[in-house]
Amino acid sequence: MISGLFDPEKLAEAWEIIKSQFLLATWETLYVTLLATFFACVIGLPLGVLLVVGEKGGVLPLPKWIMQVLNVIINLLRSVPFLILMILVIPLTRAIIGTSIGTTASIVPLVISAFPFIARLAESSLREVSPNTIEMAQSMGASPFQIITKVLIPESVPSLISNLTIAVTTILGYTAMSGIIGGGGLGKIAINYGYYRYKYAVMFFAVVLLIVLVQIFQSLGTKIAVKSDKRLKNK
């Protein structure tokens, strides 16, 4: 496999494939990752808030059964491996998108597997806000809704950004995985050429691109998180 990588003839062939396909594949990967992250946040962030404020002694305690149902659903979805989840939600994907195969269709299982993850990440970010700070807001006459919008969320922005970065990079990995069963993008190229047709150079290049994308997202996210954090003095 390694020796094959450096065979000039194979390299030339791989280069042709790369030139003709990688721009579109990279775009597909980015588009699926970002859209899936967006929708997963739309569902996951409010759930994360509920997990924190709704518990006993929280800012807006909810009935115990609601919290239990919420926790069970999140834990359940989090424990199903992504590939299996993809297959399980095929009927749902068909109902929403019209087909279960293709780049756009892979967004549905990605969102379903990512929103519980994002809910947990948001939960842990919001829990970092000190109870003393919340008590301060209560002592000034803040309503539960004001505590959520003016204290809990704004005070945990840097941590939310860090955790969101973890979510994006993880979803990027899942996007690549979705190439195995019909998803598009870099994952599909890696599987199609590398696994089915033994063109390892192409697979290798796809993997390198994925690594580069993860690096870009991670360093961008870390930078923004640090920049947004007003607790750090030496900037």
Residue ranges in contact with other proteins by CB under 8 A: 130, 132-133, 135-143, 146, 150-151, 154-155, 157-158, 228-233
For residue 54, report the phi and psi dihedrals to the nearest 5 degrees.
-85, -10
User: Shortest approach of other proteins to residue 226 CB, angstroms?
Assistant: 13
C-alpha gyration radius of the chain: 21
Give me 51's structure tokens.
């997990």
User: Shortest approach of other proteins to residue 44 CB, angstroms?
Assistant: 22
> 138 or 218, CB closer to other proteins?
138
User: Shortest approach of other proteins to residue 51 CB, angstroms?
Assistant: 21
> 124 or 138, CB closer to other proteins?
138
Q: How far apart are CA 53 and CA 198, in angstroms?
A: 52
User: Shortest approach of other proteins to residue 219 CB, angstroms?
Assistant: 22
**Concatenated DSSP letters of 10-27:** HHHHHHHHHHHHHHHHHH
Other C-beta atoms lying within 10 Å of the C-beta of residue 133:
13
Q: End-to-end distance of the chain based on CA atoms, in angstroms?
A: 48
> 91 or 141, CB closer to other proteins?
141
> 36 or 153, CB closer to other proteins?
153
CB 167 within 8 A of CB 118: yes
Give start and end residues of each alpha helix (H) in 98-192: 107-127, 131-139, 144-146, 153-155, 157-177, 186-189
User: Shortest approach of other proteins to residue 131 CB, angstroms?
Assistant: 10
User: Shortest approach of other proteins to residue 141 CB, angstroms?
Assistant: 4
> 137 or 171, CB closer to other proteins?
137
> 7 or 135, CB closer to other proteins?
135
Give me 68's structure tokens.
């239990």
CB 36 within 8 A of CB 114: yes
CB 209 within 8 A of CB 22: yes
